[in-house]
Structure 1
């Protein structure tokens, strides 16, 4: 029985950053094992394994689990961390199990799953468009969901659907509008961004008009959802989001290899046999589905889809935002922001979107400065 073929290959991105380029005719410079990539071939599967990225995902997963459990300890009835872990397994005091599993677990799961969805969706959009500013926040998807929810609350168009269904419908309709307007014998990432920004402002203006037109009660209810909020989440919000991620996350991973060919440009990708427009549409639908279900469950939590992929990319030192690490980073950001929102002011639970907005705005400014310097050659 032959052993699986494992061959070490140098990562081009790491070589250019961490080691000097080798001279012509000389072997490539050696890299620390943590920065190398390994081609693993185990029929019928094969792929590239990066130890640094694997280690990063492990650290992010542990941090996410700790924050997840820590959030379950907080409330009017404080629970010890160890008791929370036991209660998650159904052991311990029956009262503690009831509080953890029935009252607090849905909120924590919505934060976890929404964070993963925001991070993966942002990674898909940024890789597809080859632009770090391309996220659902910037191209109108979350704003479209917000407009649909506010219209339902203010104008009575909800027809009993609720904010979750309205947000989902609004995000999907906005994505369709952006794609149609950006189509001209195909689409490009540049056109999607430009059209998305215009649609984003249009939706924001419509939302402001509806808020001004509505009554005080409707405006207050709409505002509580628009900032992104995990307060009062139940299993009704958790189950659809979990089912959607069970379908869309594997699809995101399967599209990963095709997604990387788009990094080479449309002409090169076409030359390699990639159906560019079909792949771009598939990625767009997958990313829209993730952001739509996450926004419907938690509201338009600001900047997570923008910041999480960029943080993960710099931690992993890859040429593009890594999908799994971006999702775990998004979950870490949402859960951490929710902890801050619940504890920063004693006796008050702030919406999680306020905290992510405060933390994400500096990252947006930093990305804009970097893009400006790159464009000016500075």
Structure 2
């Protein structure tokens, strides 16, 4: 597969991954290498990675963090910064983030802020990180239950996508990443959406290609609008409500913690319903979207008493301006519209629509 050039980095795939990594290390000769993993990737991915790494005599340290979204915090960053300092990391050190979206988001933020910035490389091991989290330079951590409230936009040196790491994933994590791919189709490409919702016509050998296509879509958007002034906002379709649901369920001990993709799947259905009220999305398209998403994602039980709490969480969405919640909505499948204002009444109607879906 041909490598994809971003604004200031390159995304390499499969056969090129370790050739490019080792060539980079040989050429740049970092003073030390730090590898950030979580408890899962330490056991399941690190041995393979280390077997391919040609680090020569360069001091190399592995740092392990707990797995899961609830550990994507500034406290964990503090631990990583302190470990790097204790092992003598300097501005010529290299940080390699080997893991899913939590590891690449947090590790990227650590690199961007340690000594005001050191080089880093993302090696995503989950589908979500491959198609979304690791690409585009968004780094950061959560603030309590609020998603990605602290961070910077700054690309690493490269992203290395080795799809064989997907063999280590449980099914629910694969499904979670699929939500972002569906989003890419909904906001930019009806044909891609159609491909993803008819995967019964594909075999496993097609997986690499649809991952590649998703990275191309995201990179095209990010390259045109790297700091999210206009077009890049479309990547937040499904996330205004989806992130609020994810945060509310994470904070509420009575609720099952949702994977990111599970929450975003709900958000995309609700925001598609809202699109029929605000942007003229057809009811036929709404039905197609709802059915396409529910082919893969089970419905999430959201009680009526939860609605106002979820709406409250939307006030912290990063697209908001002057206290007004701003949505990304759909005019049609493959065509998104940014900066849409939506009344609470319509949001509540969307929850009712979702509840009544079979």
- Give the number of the structure whose residues are more often strand, by fraction: 2
Given the two structures, how large is their TM-score scaled by the length of structure 2?
Answer: 0.28
- Give the number of the structure whose residues are more often helix, by fraction: 1
Given the two structures, how large is their TM-score scaled by the length of structure 1?
Answer: 0.27
